[in-house]
Amino acid sequence: EVGCGSGYLSACLAQLGGSVIAMERHEALVAAVEQRLTQNEIKGVEVSLADASETLPDGRFDVIVVGGAIAHSRTRFESALQEGGRLFVVEGKGPTMTAFRIERLSEDRWQREALFETRMPYLHNFGPKPKFEF
């Protein structure tokens, strides 16, 4: 999970799938998530202090959930999927964004399915680039 915030979705994903790597760039949130997971006896979640705009964990993943919007498609998340892996991400520029389910079909093929329209805050460093104005 990219951008785990409070850790709620991380806990839900752990209950559904077993092993979760939850990334968060705010140190205070990481500590709070670890404490909540321990207090609630949630197993299978590793919380990592990291910025997804700079790095992703090594390896390929079955599922990636991006917990904030991104302005443009970022192949970094798609490339981190193993074949048959799925990605949930919200992309676009407000006022309306689109939630996508992306599946990696092969080493160089992906299938994108638009699920619904929504709006959510951008992940740090994943918002729209400022336009040049004169």
107 CB burial (10 A radius; 0-12, 13-18, 19+): exposed
Model pLDDT for residues 89-109, shown as the tens digit of each residue = 999 987 889 999 999 999 999
Instruction: Give the pLDDT confidence of 31-75 residue by residue, as tens digits.
Output: 999 999 999 999 999 999 998 888 888 889 999 999 999 998 777
- Residues 11, 44: Cα–Cα separation, whole Å: 8
> pTM, whole model, 2 decimals?
0.89
